[in-house]
Amino acid sequence: MAETDLILETKDVVKRFGGLTAVDKLSFSLEKGRIYSIIGPNGAGKTTFFNTLSGLSRPEEGEIRFEGRRIDGLRPERVMKLHMARTFQNIRLFGGMTVVENIMVGAYTRLRQNAVQTVLRTRAFKAEEKRAEARAEELMKYVGLEGIGNELAGSLPYGAQRRVEIARALASEPRLLLLDEPTAGMNPAETEEATGLVRRLRDELGITILLIEHDMRVVMSISERISVMDYGEKIAEGKPEEIASNPKVIEAYLGRRAAAASGGAQSARYSDAEESL
Amino acid sequence: MKGKTGASRSSKGSRALGSFGALLNKGAIPYIVSAALLILGTILVYLSPRSIPAFLLFLGAGALTYFLDMNRAVKLVAAVVVAVIIVPILGARNISYLEIIFQIAVFSALALGLNIVVGFSGILNFGYMAFYAVGAYLWGFFGSQQPYLLHAIPGTVPAGTPFFLAPDWFYLFLFAGIIVAAIVGLLLGLPVLRVRGDYLAIITLGFGEVVRQLLNNLDKPINLTNGPQGITPIQRPTMPNGLLALFNRLFEPLVGTPVTANQFYNIMFYLIAAIFVVLVIIVTHRFEDSKIGRAWAAIREDELAATAMGIPANRLKLEAFAVGASFAGAMGVLIAASRTFISPDSFSFLQSVSILTMVILGGIGSIPGVMIGAAVVILLNQQVLQSFSLFLAQLRQSDAVIPILNLHWKNLSNQLDPSKYQRLVFGIILIVMMIYRPMGILPATRRRRELKGDEARDEPQGPEDGADTNEADHG
């Protein structure tokens, strides 16, 4: 495979917190235009791995390459500038700001205005603000939210907040989007809609998607490739059907005995097991 | 539906005034009401220049005019007429009111500056007075004889020592104050890169004290600040030629007596302060509604998320410190010239706290709120409490008896002097506010944008909205 087809590549990434190795020599590569999932039990190090990718924490060892460029150790704003964006597991919107403002914050790295232009309200400044606002509106429409631009983000229902968070990430014009449990806490209907949205981001906007997800139905239905993490290590990688029948994966989720008993368990049951873990 | 351009402003006004405001905001009523109150206030203050209720009515009428639904041009004209003609005339008749309005203007600018740091970007700053001190001592040093007294014994001035600069350098120093204070703001901001939250608040508190102690002690080995005695005299700018004569020719019949040069200085400083406040409001407003302002708000709301959205939080916090400090720097230069005397005592921790009180009382993050906060604190301090003390003192000298308690006013303790209990009164007000109105007198509101999609909201709820509200309990 040609190197240019890889949008993201990590090599032996290690992240430790004191004595705990949260991410242990993780290597994986992600092709452009794919939907890729990372799954694993709670505490497996998935979110920590996302943090190292998006620059929120610096890995102790290893290399991260985004579009061929080393990004490990870069600050988040630099990573964002390179067109990588993320959402958070426990929604982190700016609750006291309006929905439009939230989305406009997402466009921070794409706006060129400076302090002098701001104070003088130059024509370029006004034009850019207008464009940013129009773009925010467009994005709201795209994620299926209309007419709530002036509401405070914190006052929105849960499902809408998730979508605002995705719109905010989209405002930064990402080529790679990291979604941390985009359907957590949603009911089946909302989950269905969110899954559809993720698929549209890839199909219509050509954004490569890397997601962490617990809901196995979601994972199995939209991912083209899956990595399984356990205790910071990648224990398996492959297509959804390969993962579903991988004994190591079943062991990680259900324990050794369950794995022996069930063999190739049905994927849908993982999500139930997940809750009991 | 409301008019397009006025929508954001007017809705703010009616919200502040509640249902009573809705009644006031119908048709021509606001024009009549505010004109009537302004004229009434003006006449009352004009006729009895020492009456406090009249003065409060006058100020209240001005504030009400701002909040009522009116054509912006009409408001602007009213504001200019009041600020440039009425206030100077009334001020010339009773200079103490002019002084209060001057202080309200200065402290509004200070509170607006602190509001950028505390309100917009959410960094608690207890040392804000330091920037004010920097501005004041900047002109205090260069605008006095101090540069020639570096080796003199503190407190002594050899005869014939000239002033260091010509008085009109003052105008340049107004801008120098902005720049120097901004640089000091950046210096104080540096710890922001290392600590946050409560720790940072403590560092700012320390910084404020360090600056004050430096001013107190930098009279040796070389005498930079003249120590606790402060610097005096500090030069005022020269009065523009003929301005006083013009003022007297135009307004002497109204004022009653010719205005002296000294009185006119007060009017001039008031006008400079007023111009500055307008500039500060414009700048603050423009910052609030920009990429930088949104980034500040984002940092205040959730710093980690802001960082993940590509906002360089440290740089933006430093910018907030610098912008906030710059307002204080300019005001410092102004106050040094208008007082002709400065000493470290004017820049105490308590002063920083009272500016913080203005911000919190008025409505943290809200521009008109913060200004109202400044007005309320100044009026309480300078007017209401003091006149109440005076009133009690008068009662003490009379033979009146407190009914029910059967206590003679004469026997009332001298310790019960409301003007001595400023802090107590503010403490109580703040506690009551925190319980019943924690967002301040006039809470900040996010700007409402005229979005296309929002028109859908005016109609009954669509099916899509309904689906979302079911899940409201999830979060």
CA dihedral A216, A221, A222, A225 (to 10 degrees): 70
Q: Hey, of A50, A51, A102, A108, which one would you mutate to test binding to chain B, going by the most B CBs within 10 A of its CB?
A: A108
Q: Is B297 within 8 Å of A119 when comparing Cβ atoms?
A: no
Give the C-alpha distances (Å, rounded to integers) separating A110 from A106, A123, A170.
Answer: 9, 18, 11
pTM for the model stands at: 0.87
pLDDT of residue A264 exceeding 50, the answer is: no
Is the ipTM above a cut-off of 0.85?
A: yes
**Torsion of Cα atoms, B276 then B280 then B286 then B288, to 10°:** -170
Domain ranges of chain A: 3-83+175-276, 95-173
Among B175, B179, B294, pick the best mutation site for testing chain A contact (most A Cβ within 10 A): B294
Find chain A residues with C-beta within 8 A of B179's C-beta. none
| Residue A228, helix vs strand vs coil | strand
Chain B partners of A98 at a C-beta cutoff of 8 Å? 446-449
| Arithmetic mean of pLDDT over chain A | 89
Pairing mode of beta strands B401-402, B407-408: antiparallel
Residue A154 pLDDT class (50, 70, 90 cuts): very high
A112 three-state secondary structure: coil
Q: What is the mean pLDDT of residues A46-60?
A: 93
Going residue by residue through chain B, which has 475 residues, state the pLDDT in tens, using 9 for 90 and above.
333 443 444 444 445 555 666 777 777 888 888 889 999 989 988 888 878 888 888 988 888 888 888 888 888 999 999 999 999 999 998 888 899 999 999 999 999 999 999 999 999 999 999 999 999 999 999 999 999 988 888 777 888 888 999 999 999 999 999 999 999 999 888 877 788 778 888 989 999 999 999 999 998 888 999 999 999 899 999 988 788 888 888 888 888 888 888 889 999 999 999 999 999 999 999 999 999 999 999 999 999 999 999 999 999 999 999 999 999 999 999 999 999 999 999 999 988 999 999 999 999 999 999 999 999 999 988 888 878 888 888 888 887 777 777 777 777 777 777 777 777 888 888 899 889 988 898 888 887 887 776 554 444 443 333 333 333 333 3
Q: Residue B234: name the closest of B340, B362, B320 by CA.
A: B340
Instruction: Return the pLDDT at B312.
Output: 93
CA nearest A84: which of A39, A52, A43?
A52
Put simply, whether A48 touches B (Cβ < 8 Å) is no
Per-position b or e across B403-426, b if 16+ CB within 10 A of its CB: eeeeeebeeeeeeebbbeebeebb
What is the assigned CATH class of domain A3-83+175-276?
alpha beta
Contact A238/A51 with Cβ under 8 angstroms? no
Whole-number Å distance between alpha carbons of B92 and B88:
6
Give the pLDDT score at B17: 56
Domain ranges (residues) in chain B: 1-93, 98-354
Q: Please give, rounded to a whole number of angstroms, the shortest distance from the CA of B8 to a CA of chain A.
A: 11
For A82, which residue in chain B has the nearest alpha carbon?
Answer: B310
| pLDDT value of residue A260 | 64
* Residue A260 main-chain phi, psi, to 5 deg: -65, -40
**B182: Cβ–Cβ under 8 A, 6 or more apart, which residues?**
B322, B323, B325, B326, B329
Residues 425-464 of B with CB under 8 A from A: 446-449, 451-457, 462, 464
Within 10 angstroms of residue B435's Cβ, the number of other Cβ atoms is 8
Q: What is the mean pLDDT of residues A30-40?
A: 94
CA–CA separation, B119 and B113 (whole Å): 10
| pLDDT at residue B20 in the model | 66
